[in-house]
Amino acid sequence: MYQIRKADLKDAEAIAHVHVESWKSTYSELINEKDLTNTTFENRKALWETILKMPKQGQVVMVVEDENRVIGFVSGGKERTKRFGFDGEIYAIYLLDDYQRKKLGTKLLQAFVAELKTLGYRSILVWVLTQNPSSKFYERLGAEPIQKEQTTIGEGTYQETAYGWEDINELTFQET
């Protein structure tokens, strides 16, 4: 049985594990190996410990568990660029490979969006590498492409696309 809940400091190590493993499997065909290996467990663990020790106002981190083991997470909060008129942003959402395509990403995002609504967010933006097939996940949920830009990961430059929901209530969580 899967459980979705808000993350706390004790989850930092598990979130780091999911982040690194999912990062490597998701992006192995999309970014250079040298840029891929820059993401290490040690730096992600330190990042998540910092985020969970000192959460910023309006920031949300949630996990999904399978038998008390974290198998995925989502984090987000205030939209960082302030260029597109969106107030919320999904910073990261990852699931371990064995748990993908089981509707857990949708359920995790649904819980996250409910939490954002309670915090007063009205719209959401998410950045996705343009070549990432996961962009279809957001499109199925009603996201519209907003803009494409170049981003730097490690030493490489890659194109990413911003997707958004101008009205948080427009996210369509019907079973697909």
Is 106:173 a contact under the CB 8 Å cutoff?
A: yes
How far is the C-alpha of 28 from the C-alpha of 120, rounded, in Å? 37
- The highest-level CATH class for domain 2-122 is alpha beta
Is 109:141 a contact under the CB 8 Å cutoff?
A: yes
Question: Residues 50-106: pLDDT tens digits?
Answer: 999 988 889 999 999 999 899 999 999 999 999 999 999 999 999 999 999 899 999
pLDDT above 80 (res 38): no
Q: Domain residue spans in the chain?
A: 2-122
pTM surpassing 0.95? Answer: no
DSSP string, 123-158: -EEEEEETT-TTHHHHHHTT-EEEEEEEEEETTEEE
How far is the C-alpha of 60 from the C-alpha of 90, rounded, in Å? 9
Query: Which residue's entry shows tokens 């996201």?
Result: 143
Question: Looking at residue 36, what is its pLDDT?
Answer: 79
How far is the C-alpha of 34 from the C-alpha of 43, rounded, in Å? 16
How far is the C-alpha of 95 from the C-alpha of 123, rounded, in Å? 23
Closest C-alpha among 141, 145, 69 to residue 107:
141
